[in-house]
Every structure is written in structure tokens, then in C-alpha cells.
């Protein structure tokens, strides 16, 4: 009975795939460095590199949308499709999510996708963001974030949707939801994800202040589970993965579903309204001006 409802829930979360693969090259397969059999072949797309290890049942999924892994529509789409491919392949039980770009895990929303764009594009973009969150938050796989770079806003949300987070100990690699500093507001499902991770009071403070936490503080507040030297992020993520995979899948998956269902259901019930809210908010002249100003500041602060 519990299993059946878990499966039904997962099915409901599998919403429509998009036919929007502008400029993507999905499904490419190539031998991983070092060669080997099927278990060592990597696949993926232009912006998501997947290194599967069939023997351990773990795949490493690397975001590679240089320079900062901003969440473009293409990257969001390719992430969802790569994750779905692994979910549908019973060989795999866990995914380590990390960055292929130096110094940045993910810079969050690609601001060029919502600056100077028409409402239809903003709506399409936001639906893709919702989809990625639903897929990661409800994934039946164990997801471990190996955070090897800066992790603001949308990047933080991807990390928080994983089951476990390992952050590299570098003061430049800050993590948090800094939306208010851009003059925008985290929607309720980002807020809920934050609250579920670090509690209400800490979220209230951090969200209003737009706090980006350096590693030691991120660990203290509970945003990440481990902080380790940069060269140990991958190996620590693998050890964490082993700990999570030691639990029988069905028990872990149903427990995860029990813990996360209400939060995900809240978005599933209000998905259209959330999209309309996002579009009408970001398309306001005043918000467009602050986003443009923020983007300009980013472009000018080089060096
Ligand atoms: C109802 C409203 C709902 C709102 C929903 C809110 C949900 C999520 C919100 C977001 O995710 S908004 C995005 C927030 N992200 C940030 O504030 C991060 C901004 N970026 C940085 O702080 C830094 O770039 C970095 C990630 C720390 C990396 O620093 P680094 O020095 O390595 O690189 P830069 O020189 O700063 O940047 C290189 C290049 O990338 C461009 N860029 C950076 N971030 C973004 C971005 N988020 N979107 C688009 N483009 C970005 C930056 O402008 C530079 O471009 P060029 O000058 O090379 O053209």
C-alpha cells in the first residue's frame, strides 16, 4: 500500500518532457578517460557530463556550462533528461552532482534568461526550473552534492534538493539564498526547502538578509553536512554515498518520499499560479531594472 502510493506520487512528479532542446546534443556516448567496458562509458549532453560506474551503481554528473554554470534553459533541460535517464536505468542507485567549471558549482538562475525577455519565455524558463527542482527533490536515487565552488541562489537550491552536501573548504565558495540582494524574492518552495534544511528561524534571518555563508558557517547552520579540503570533496562524496547506499532502497526511498512529499505537493498543486506569479513579478519594469543593474555590476567587477 505504502509502496503503491509512493510509486503513484513519483509518477505524478514525472511531468511532461519538453521539446525545447535548442542546441543540445543529448544521448552522446563516449569512452571515459582510461577506457573500459560499458561501466566506464560516459554519456550526457553538451552541458551535462555523466560518468557512470555500473559496478558501484553510482554516476557522477558534472555541470559544464562555462563560465559559471548559470542555469540556462538548455542546462535545466539537459539536467532533467540526464537524471531521468539514470533513474530509468536500474543499474544506478546514486548520483554525485558536481561542477566541471573551476571555482563555481552553479551561479543560479541565468539572469540573461529573465532580463529583457518576453513573458512567454520567462514562463517557459520558470517551468523548467520547477521541473528540475521536482525531479531532484523527489528523486528515487541517492543524490550527493559535491560542491566544488560558489553556490548561490538557484545553485544552492539544487544542492539542497540533494540528500547530502559536501562543500570544499574555500572561503570564496559561499552558499545560500541571496535573492533579496538582487531585489527578488525566493518563491515559497525555495523557502520551504530552506526551512526543511536549516529550520525556521535560521531561514527567516538568512532569507531576509540574503546571506551567503562561507564553509564553516554553512556547516554550523546545517546548510551542508561536511566541509573538507578541496582535493577531498569527491572522495568524501563517494564515502557519503556508500553510507546512504548501505540502506535498502525501498525503505530509504519511501522514507524520503514521506519526508518530502508535502513540500513537493504544495508546488504541484500551485504550479501554474507560481509560474504566473514569477512572470508578472520579473516582468515588472522596476524588477527588470534591478536585474539589469545586478548583471551589469557582475560584468564590471572583473579582475
Ligand atoms: C518571484 C521571483 C522569483 C525569483 C526566483 C529566484 C530563484 C533563484 C534566484 C537566482 O538564482 S538569481 C541568480 C543569483 N546568482 C548570483 O547572485 C550569482 C552571481 N554571480 C556571482 O556572484 C559570480 O559570478 C560567481 C558565481 C561567484 C563567480 O564569480 P567569478 O568571479 O568566477 O565569475 P564572474 O566574473 O563574476 O562571472 C563570469 C561571467 O558570468 C556572468 N554571470 C555570473 N553569474 C551569472 C548569472 N547568474 N546569470 C548570468 N550570467 C552570470 C558574469 O556576468 C560574467 O559575464 P561576462 O562579464 O564574462 O560576460
Residue 226 CA: distances (Å) to CA of 49, 87, 145, 154, 169: 24, 26, 11, 20, 9
Report residue 77's pLDDT band, with 50, 70 and 90 as the boundaries: very high
Average pLDDT over residues 135-157: 98
pTM of the model: 0.90
Q: How far is the CA of 13 from the centre of ligand 1 (A)?
A: 29
Instruction: For residues 165 and 145, give the distance between their C-alpha atoms in angstroms, rounded to a whole number.
Output: 5
3-state helix, strand, coil in the chain (%, to 5): 50, 15, 30
Name the residue of 75, 102, 107, 300 whose CB sits within 8 Å of the most ligand 1 atoms, as the mutation to test its pocket. 107
Average pLDDT over residues 165-193: 97
- How high does pLDDT run on average in the chain? 89
Average pLDDT over residues 245-266: 98
Tell me: the pLDDT tens digits for 29-72?
A: 444 433 334 444 677 789 999 999 999 999 999 999 999 999 99
DSSP H stretches of helix in 94-199: 119-137, 154-161, 188-198
In this structure, of 4-18, 164-178, 243-257, the range with the lowest mean pLDDT score is 4-18
Q: How far is the CA of 186 from the centre of ligand 1 (A)?
A: 16
Report residue 82's pLDDT band, with 50, 70 and 90 as the boundaries: very high
Report residue 10's pLDDT band, with 50, 70 and 90 as the boundaries: very low
Helix axes 249-269, 271-282, angle to 10 degrees: 60
**Percentage of the chain with pLDDT > 70?**
86
Residue 253 has pLDDT above 80, yes or no: yes
Nearest CA to ligand 1 atom 26: 107
Average pLDDT over residues 107-131: 98
User: Which residues 6+ apart lie within 8 Å of 191 measured at CB?
Assistant: 203, 207
Per-residue model confidence (pLDDT) at position 8? 35
Hey, which residues are catalytic here? 109, 154, 178-179
Residue 121 has pLDDT above 70, yes or no: yes
Q: How far is the CA of 168 from the centre of ligand 1 (A)?
A: 19
Name the residue of 68, 170, 194 whose CB sits within 8 Å of the most ligand 1 atoms, as the mutation to test its pocket. 68
Per-residue model confidence (pLDDT) at position 303? 52
Nearest CA to ligand 1 atom 22: 107
Report residue 24's pLDDT band, with 50, 70 and 90 as the boundaries: very low
Q: Which atom of ligand 1 is nearest to the CA of 300?
A: 57
Instruction: For residues 220 and 213, give the distance between their C-alpha atoms in angstroms, rounded to a whole number.
Output: 10
Average pLDDT over residues 168-173: 98
Instruction: For residues 13 and 33, give the distance between their C-alpha atoms in angstroms, rounded to a whole number.
Output: 35
Tell me: the pLDDT tens digits for 84-105?
A: 999 999 999 999 999 999 999 9
Average pLDDT over residues 94-121: 98
Q: How far is the CA of 65 from the centre of ligand 1 (A)?
A: 12
Report residue 260's pLDDT band, with 50, 70 and 90 as the boundaries: very high
Q: How far is the CA of 283 from the centre of ligand 1 (A)?
A: 19
Instruction: For residues 133 and 158, give the distance between their C-alpha atoms in angstroms, rounded to a whole number.
Output: 7
H or E element that contains 145: strand 142-147
Q: Which atom of ligand 1 is nearest to the CA of 126?
A: 5
Average pLDDT over residues 210-236: 98
Residue 55 CA: distances (Å) to CA of 41, 91, 164, 193, 276: 12, 8, 22, 33, 45
Q: Which atom of ligand 1 is nearest to the CA of 298?
A: 53
Residues with CB under 6 A from ligand 1: 67-68, 70, 103-104, 107-112, 150, 152-154, 178-179, 182, 184-187, 190, 277-278, 281-282, 298-299, 302
Amino acid at each position: 500500500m505504502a509502496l503503491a502510493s509512493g510509486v503513484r506520487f513519483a509518477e505524478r512528479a514525472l511531468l511532461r518532457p519538453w521539446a525545447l532542446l535548442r542546441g543540445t546534443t543529448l544521448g552522446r556516448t563516449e569512452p571515459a578517460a582510461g577506457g573500459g567496458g560499458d561501466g566506464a562509458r560516459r554519456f550526457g549532453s553538451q552541458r551535462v557530463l555523466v560518468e557512470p560506474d555500473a559496478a558501484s551503481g553510482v554516476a557522477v554528473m558534472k555541470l559544464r556550462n562555462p563560465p559559471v554554470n548559470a542555469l540556462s534553459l538548455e542546462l535545466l533541460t539537459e539536467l532533467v533528461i540526464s537524471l531521468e535517464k539514470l533513474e530509468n536505468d536500474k543499474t544506478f542507485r546514486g548520483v554525485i552532482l558536481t561542477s566541471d567549471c573551476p571555482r563555481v558549482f552553479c551561479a543560479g538562475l541565468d539572469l540573461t534568461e529573465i532580463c529583457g525577455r518576453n513573458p512567454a519565455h520567462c514562463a517557459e524558463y520558470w517551468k523548467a526550473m520547477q521541473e528540475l527542482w521536482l525531479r531532484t527533490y523527489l528523486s528515487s536515487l541517492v543524490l550527493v552534492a559535491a560542491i566544488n565552488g560558489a553556490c548561490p541562489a538557484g545553485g544552492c537550491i539544487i544542492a539542497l534538493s540533494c540528500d547530502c552536501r559536501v562543500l570544499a573548504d574555500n572561503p570564496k565558495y559561499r552558499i545560500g539564498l541571496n535573492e533579496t540582494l538582487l531585489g527578488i524574492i525566493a518563491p515559497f518552495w525555495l523557502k520551504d526547502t530552506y526551512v526543511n534544511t536549516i529550520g525556521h528561524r535560521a531561514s527567516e534571518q538568512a532569507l531576509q538578509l540574503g546571506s551567503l555563508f562561507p564553509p564553516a558557517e554553512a556547516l554550523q547552520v546545517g546548510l551542508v553536512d561536511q566541509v573538507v579540503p578541496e582535493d577531498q570533496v569527491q572522495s568524501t562524496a563517494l564515502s557519503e554515498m556508500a553510507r546512504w547506499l548501505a540502506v535498502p532502497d525501498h525503505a530509504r526511498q519511501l522514507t524520503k518520499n514521506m519526508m518530502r512529499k508535502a513540500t513537493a505537493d504544495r508546488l504541484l498543486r500551485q504550479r501554474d499560479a507560481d509560474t504566473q506569479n514569477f512572470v508578472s513579478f520579473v516582468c515588472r519594469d522596476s524588477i527588470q531594472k534591478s536585474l539589469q543593474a545586478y548583471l551589469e555590476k557582475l560584468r564590471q567587477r572583473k579582475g
